[in-house]
A = this chain, B = another copy of it.
Amino acid sequence: MARYEQIAGDLRDAIVRGEYAIGAQLPSEAELADRYGAARGTIRQAVAVLVNEGLVGSRQGARRIVLGSERSQSFAELHSFAQWARSMGYRASGAVVRSDRRPCTQSEAARLSLTPGEEVLTVLRLRRLDGEPVLLERTVYAGWIAPAVERLDPSCESVTQELYDAVGLVFAYGEHLIDAVAAGSEDARLLGVRRGSPLLRQRRTTTSQEGRPVECSDDRYRAGSVAFSIRNSTSTNPLVRRTGD
């Protein structure tokens, strides 16, 4: 592990332990450099990690301050519902409801960098948390990955994990659009809610390490089962409002 990661971890632990209260000042860069025997650049890199996590606030001229003390999830595995569930202590399961090959639409072609009409694989998957249905995924896979997806166990726990094991595919980058929709009749039936009741929708496009679009998906969570959490600051802001589209 890199030196700056160790230092970041050390500082994070101190914050989580409550050694620095919320609103309290962190030591200056010079002092930290001294304490850890590292160059100022390394210290800055370490503190930048905490700033990105939203635990620490930073402004030119003033000492850095502690903003929060809650340890967030390990971020590395957002795309895997199963891995997230496990880390939260839930038992995740899933089942393929339907699976079809068909030519892609215009908009799918654009989102997956395909030529219109090229074949894609669509999969409807129901995901459960401790047996409770919470998520309905309507996923469109690019044709080139379709065979590997079709070979998967329909009730496998983690598609992400299985695809990595099978063909070394890593879901590296994602774009997400989050809004609320009313449950359609199929949604309602499978998720066990009333038609028209609120669902949290996450439309995403996932890309491989090489920048190749792999899948796009319309995921619908039962209301009350899951929320998305984001931390930000005026300077670094991952969250963008968009008009519904």
Asked if B227 and A200 make an inter-chain contact with CB atoms under 8 angstroms apart, the answer reads no
Given contacts A22-B211, A113-B22, contact A228 B178 (CB under 8 A): yes
Identify the 9 closest CB pairs spanning chains A and B, nearest first.
A198-B198, A75-B237, A238-B238, A180-B180, A179-B227, A180-B200, A65-B211, A180-B198, A178-B228
In the assembled complex, the CB of A237 is this many whole angstroms from the nearest CB of chain B, namely 3
A236: Cβ under 8 A from any B Cβ: yes
Contacts of A236 in B (CB 8 A): 52, 75
For the complex, give the distance between the alpha carbons of A235 and B76 in Å.
6
A16: Cβ under 8 A from any B Cβ: no
Given contacts A113-B23, A172-B57, A196-B197, contact A73 B238 (CB under 8 A): no
Q: Which of these, B76, B228, B237, B242, contacts A234 with CB under 8 Å? A: B76
In the assembled complex, the CB of A31 is this many whole angstroms from the nearest CB of chain B, namely 19
Given contacts A226-B179, A226-B244, contact A232 B174 (CB under 8 A): yes
Q: Hey, which bits of chain A sit against chain B, CB under 8 A?
A: 22-23, 52, 54, 57, 59, 65-68, 72-73, 75-79, 84, 88, 113, 170-182, 196-201, 207, 209-212, 221, 223-245
Contacts of A207 in B (CB 8 A): 57, 67
For the complex, give the distance between the alpha carbons of A190 and B211 in Å.
44
Asked if B178 and A227 make an inter-chain contact with CB atoms under 8 angstroms apart, the answer reads yes
Contacts of A197 in B (CB 8 A): 182, 196, 198
Asked if A178 and B230 make an inter-chain contact with CB atoms under 8 angstroms apart, the answer reads yes
For the complex, give the distance between the alpha carbons of A241 and B232 in Å.
15
In the assembled complex, the CB of A180 is this many whole angstroms from the nearest CB of chain B, namely 4
Contacts of A72 in B (CB 8 A): 240
In the assembled complex, the CB of A159 is this many whole angstroms from the nearest CB of chain B, namely 15
Question: What are 12 A-B residue pairs whose CB atoms fall within 8 Å in the complex?
Answer: A65-B210, A66-B211, A67-B173, A79-B234, A174-B232, A175-B231, A176-B228, A178-B230, A179-B227, A227-B244, A230-B240, A238-B238
